[in-house]
């Protein structure tokens, strides 16, 4: 993936002569006539993204799947379910208790 911050890199300038409009080549400045490397940059980006050699290497690559240990999954299933369900609830309750304690402490008159 290639990210370019300025979308005007692919925008052509237009030369107007009376009622006739002609697009300038990509990267050419209409005032100075200087040609920048926008076209070359975009062509190099496309060549990089559609690299045929890289695609062939990806096809021949073998992926090795690493399976989880089923015994450990069965033994620790309940523990992780309790942690994932009760943990966030307990954190919210504790945060509420702490918040109410400090609120009472700050806003009660002696």
Helices (H), 2-69: 38-49, 52-60
Put residue 46 in one of left, alpha, beta given phi > 0 → left and psi -120 to 50 → alpha: alpha
Q: Report d(CA 17, CA 6) in Å as an integer.
A: 28
Number of compact structural domains in the chain: 2
CA end-to-end span of the chain:
64
Q: Are residues 81 and 107 in the same domain?
A: yes
pLDDT of 8 reads 79
Segments forming the whole domain that contains residue 105: 67-110
pLDDT of 82 reads 95
Residue ending a domain, among 40, 60, 80, is 60
Prediction pTM value? 0.41
Q: Are residues 50 and 26 in the same domain?
A: yes
The answer as to whether 2 is a domain residue is no
Mean pLDDT by 10-residue block, N- to C-terminus, for the chain (110 residues)? 83 86 85 86 84 66 84 92 96 97 86
pLDDT of 56 reads 60
Q: Are residues 34 and 71 in the same domain?
A: no
């Amino acid at each position: 993936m290639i990210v370019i911050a300025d979308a005007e890199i692919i925008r052509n300038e237009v030369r107007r002569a009376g009622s006739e409009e002609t697009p300038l080549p990509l990267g050419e400045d209409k005032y100075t006539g200087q040609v920048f490397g926008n076209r070359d940059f975009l062509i190099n980006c496309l060549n990089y993204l559609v690299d045929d050699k890289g695609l062939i290497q990806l096809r021949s690559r073998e992926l090795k799947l690493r399976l989880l240990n089923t015994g450990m999954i069965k033994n620790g299933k309940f523990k992780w379910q309790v942690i994932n369900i009760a943990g966030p609830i307990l954190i919210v309750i504790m945060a509420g208790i702490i918040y109410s304690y400090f609120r009472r402490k700050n806003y009660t008159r002696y």
